[in-house]
Structure 1
Amino acid sequence: MDQHAGNRPETTLPHGNLDITQDAVVIVPGIMGSELREASTGRTLWGLSGARWLIDAWTRPGGLKTLHMTDAELEGTAGRIEPVQLLRHSAWTPYFKGFEPYTELIAAVHACVAHPAAVLEFPYDWRFPVAANGQLLAAAARRHLSAWRQHPAHREAVRTRRDQRPARLVFVAHSMGGLLAQAALNPLHDSDLPADTRAVITLGTPFHGAVKAAAILNTGQGAPAPLPHQRLKSLCTNLPGLHDLLPQYLCMLEDTDARHLTPPDVERLGGNRELARLATDFAAKRAAISLPGHRAVIGTNQTTAQSMTLRDGVLRTHCHTVRRNSDHTFIHEPDGTLKLFDVQGDGTVHKESAALGTAVTHLPLHHGAVATDRFALHAVQEALREDTHLGPPMGGPGCGLDIPDLTRPGHPWELTITGLHSPAGVTCRITAADTTRPTTPLAPRLRSAGNRLTATATLPAPGLYRVTVTTRDRRHISQMLLAADHTCHTLTNDSHNEPNP
């Protein structure tokens, strides 16, 4: 798979600046965070700009057919599809409520290094297993570190640093990218790579999996689902990368007990039993791999699925989880039922799944925005510069934002802001994420509803929109949603009429 560094600034930072690192940095995006193209034609299959392309991809027959895994790819043969670069444009999928581009994260990293050559952007084919992509990342990181150590700017940076040591690696990874970084540090790939790694900075990485991955596989089992949700389920049914995100903790709730999700469970809810087995086996091996100098940035305050129940093939997700007593038995209510705890998270990954240790910065952010928020980027920069300060403690009070991921133009929908009691000093703006088709921003009227705020909005036209809430302390929380006609019906004629790139 080709690795491309993308567009980089070409200016070297001033000599003698002690606020830069001499280290080599590798940026690893999350699932669906890499632009993909068809090798034989050069046609972009995922990652184009413009809401029109996104709407076509999710609603036109055959919109995502080319991304489906072939039999040869499931056997491990890659090359039909190539990763090009990290996502440079806003994107959207059902359930995930939008992917922000990585341009701000890339710029923040470049501001901390001695030369653009110190930064490697690692796009990858996110359809493939984490294990396979992790091995590719290990090889790419080794090449990058070796090349950077020979660069003249590296020698100059070493002379101006207090410790004057040769460069080591720092991985900056968003979401599933953190799993790749952990897989890459398996000594079986490169026995010296862990020692050559100074730090791993993860942003919303689901180390223990996410219930939302199971919900995607179960789409339509209990009730009709909008066409975009059906399309994502069709794509993910045999997608190894998605199965690697399935929860590996005790998430299956039963009357007085909780257990792990099993491969037969995955098959019953609509996934692939063998891919689930391989993912479970790999997750156990991955858990034994330590992350040098690990710092985690974790989104909080958002309504997040943490557990589930499965009845007759229909999955129900729940925004709570269980905990154990000191003797490892589950905590129960007086009536013998499980006591349930809501730890929240970033809307996709619950808080406890994203943490491996105690070096954690909590910020009230949604999953798609963890890699763009200014406080999260500040935490990344401080870690790159080897400062012990990891960013604002707990990120301030903040708030939670809950919106649908898909709506129809001209139809009213409701947004909910949690953690705030009064609309005083709070603003909400809805803007078009597609800057090539600007529209007048909307400012829905916020109203108090007990311990939360609500508002009703109507989007004027099809497109990708960003909802941004600003609190009195000037903190921001944002999510994206797609406005499109999404009539519920089954997939048909899914082998033609693909959207033009």
Structure 2
Amino acid sequence: MSPQRQAGGATPAPAEPEVPLHVTQDAVVIVPGIMGSELRSTVTGDVLWGLSGAGWLLRAWTRRDGLAELHLTEDELTGRTGRIEATRLLRHGTWTPYLRGQEPYTDLLDTVREYVADPAAVLPYPYDWRLPVATNGKLLAARAREHLTAWRAHPAHRAALAHRADQRPARLVFVAHSMGGLVTRSALDGSHGDDLAADTRTVITLGTPFHGSVKAAVILNSGRGAPVPLPHAKLRALCATMPGLHDLLPLYRCLREGDDVRRPGAGDLASLGGHPDLARESLAFHARQQGVELPDHRTVVGTRQPTWQSLSVTDGQITAYEDGPRPHSDGTLIRDRDGHVRYFAVHGDGTVYRDAATLAGHVSTVPVQHGDLARADSALDAVADILLEDLPHGVPLGEPGCGLSVPDLAEAGTAWRAVAEHVDSVQGLTCTLTDTATGTALSAPLRMEDGRPTATLTAPAPGLYRVALHTYDRYTISQLVLVTQPGVAVEEAP
């Protein structure tokens, strides 16, 4: 008798695949942040954003035509897209002026895959981050539905149910970094003819600017009336007509005027360097999103890092501040005994200040930079806990660790400083400078300067470097810095 057949001629059912005991049966979608997806030309096949190596980054940011292909065309601005496609999540560390270093998503992917029943349960969702959040949200809604349907039919899904107490069919879990959280909320707003929220167990956001970021306004304003380094001017030129960047502009009371602070309007955003139509469309989009609730929303936010919270405008130029107003419960601003607005340094992840990344729901804080929120062990531990349906305890008020201040751009052979924030001693602190291409690490001693632990660093050659502070309580806070040839960083744009 054939080993493939039992007595009576019946064919045995295929064996269920074995799965680890401690996994979720749910389907997971990973949504990266702005500039977190590799972009490729559908015409030439060339990778336009996301290549590996510091040499590519240096060419992209220090040559005048380095990012020309990424500028939106008139067709793309009117919705006729397809010239550029997003192919995969960022696999290599990269760097952007103001937004600074962004770590790849490989560690986040590896962590999520460790806690699902099969790699097929994970959908990495790259998207063209130049386009409006609303456009990418609609596309995500369709892909997430397809992913959930396919996963529920997968043999490993059925096997995973045997280990779960509720044995319910899979639902969706979104893990979204930065802008990816806005894209996810747009996908769940119910306007796409699919009640995706009903099939979503939880949404995990990592440093998402739900209320916008002052840094986005600074990007659009850079170089207006004053020369700036060439990479910064190139970023402004790219973002001036980029809907995705306009969707990150600040929405809260952050514009200082005399002894008051108000929300920027479309006219303000346009006067700062934004595109008038894109500014209006973005504000209208966010107004429509106000009523969208994220199912079982878990927020992971960065803290302890110096972060712009508010701004003022003089002769069309922005001054950004690392503090901002705070309201009473009735919405009026806290003032001193003389009636003047008081300003508080809440801090954040270096790009999004803490309160701007927070909606209702559970908040977990970790003392890391924005680009590292999808890579740092403390953030990945929180994601893993949520996947297994355990509430993350987080870091109470972000007290451990420290902040880190470094320039976003430096020159080879020239000394610059890395400063530890919110600590008053060098005891237990170490600092390293690592070439991301070679892995060569240099240790730098810290000494007290102006009351803060400071390391003086010099990169020997151009490249992409990681500055890391290691604290006595075993936290590592890191930031990527692009190092150029001498003289390139200060070349004026046309």
Class of the TM-score when normalised by the shorter of the 2 chains: over 0.9
Query: How far apart, in 1, do the equivalents of 2:136 and 2:474 lie?
Result: 39
Find the partner of 2:85 among 82, 87, 99.
Answer: 82
The residue that corresponds to 2:431 in the other structure is 428
Query: How far apart, in 2, do the equivalents of 1:339 and 1:389 lie?
Result: 33
**Larger Rg, first or second structure (1 or 2):** 2
The residue that corresponds to 2:68 in the other structure is 65
Report which stretch shifted further, 266-275 or 327-336.
327-336
- Which consecutive residues of structure 1, in runs of 5 or more, have no partner in the other structure? 1-12, 493-501
Identical amino acids, percent of aligned pairs: 54
Report which stretch shifted further, 285-294 or 393-402.
393-402
- Which consecutive residues of structure 2, in runs of 5 or more, have no partner in the other structure? 1-15
Question: Contact 2:19/2:156 (CA < 8 Å) preserved in 1?
Answer: no
Q: Tell me how far 1:395 sits from its aligned partner.
A: 5.6
Are 2:196 and 1:193 equivalent residues in the alignment?
A: yes
Once the two structures are superposed, the pairs formed by residues 63-462 of structure 1 within 5 Å of their partners are 63-394=66-397, 397-435=400-438, 438-439=439-440, 441-449=441-449, 451-462=451-462
Query: How far apart, in 2, do the equivalents of 1:79 and 1:298 lie?
Result: 34
Question: Contact 1:300/1:365 (CA < 8 Å) preserved in 2?
Answer: yes
The residue that corresponds to 1:491 in the other structure is 493
Query: How far apart, in 2, do the equivalents of 1:256 and 1:329 lie?
Result: 13
Query: How far apart, in 2, do the equivalents of 1:442 and 1:153 lie?
Result: 46
Query: How far apart, in 2, do the equivalents of 1:277 and 1:353 lie?
Result: 20
Distance 1:326 1:61, change over 3 A: closer
Query: How far apart, in 2, do the equivalents of 1:326 and 1:363 lie?
Result: 26
- 2:202 match: secondary structure: strand
Query: How far apart, in 1, do the equivalents of 2:273 and 2:391 lie?
Result: 45
Q: Given the two structures, how large is their TM-score scaled by the length of structure 1? A: 0.93
Cα-Cα RMSD: 1.5
Q: Which has the higher contact order (CA 8 A, sep 6+)?
A: 1
Q: Tell me how far 1:76 sits from its aligned partner.
A: 0.7
Distance 1:14 1:305, change over 3 A: farther
Distance 1:184 1:115, change over 3 A: same
Which amino acid in the other structure matches residue 361 of structure 1?
A: S
Query: How far apart, in 1, do the equivalents of 2:19 and 2:121 lie?
Result: 17
Query: How far apart, in 2, do the equivalents of 1:381 and 1:14 lie?
Result: 23
Question: Contact 1:209/1:246 (CA < 8 Å) preserved in 2?
Answer: yes
Question: Contact 1:90/1:101 (CA < 8 Å) preserved in 2?
Answer: yes
Q: Tell me how far 1:261 sits from its aligned partner.
A: 1.1
Are 2:43 and 1:40 equivalent residues in the alignment?
A: yes
Question: Contact 1:404/1:481 (CA < 8 Å) preserved in 2?
Answer: yes
Query: How far apart, in 2, do the equivalents of 1:136 and 1:341 lie?
Result: 39
CA offsets 1:355-399 (integer angstroms, 9 cap, x no match): 102401101000000110111001001101111244454565110
Question: Contact 2:411/2:489 (CA < 8 Å) preserved in 1?
Answer: no
The residue that corresponds to 2:7 in the other structure is none
Q: Given the two structures, how large is their TM-score scaled by the length of structure 2? A: 0.94
CA offsets 1:402-426 (integer angstroms, 9 cap, x no match): 0000011111111110122221221
Question: Contact 2:266/2:276 (CA < 8 Å) preserved in 1?
Answer: yes
- 2:224 match: secondary structure: coil
Q: Tell me how far 1:267 sits from its aligned partner.
A: 1.9
Q: Tell me how far 1:401 sits from its aligned partner.
A: 0.2
Question: Contact 2:231/2:489 (CA < 8 Å) preserved in 1?
Answer: no
Which amino acid in the other structure matches residue 461 of structure 2?
A: A
Question: Contact 2:37/2:126 (CA < 8 Å) preserved in 1?
Answer: yes
Give the paired residue count: 477
Q: Tell me how far 1:428 sits from its aligned partner.
A: 0.3
Question: Contact 2:410/2:489 (CA < 8 Å) preserved in 1?
Answer: no
CA offsets 1:221-280 (integer angstroms, 9 cap, x no match): 242100000000010000000000000111101122111112211221111011011111
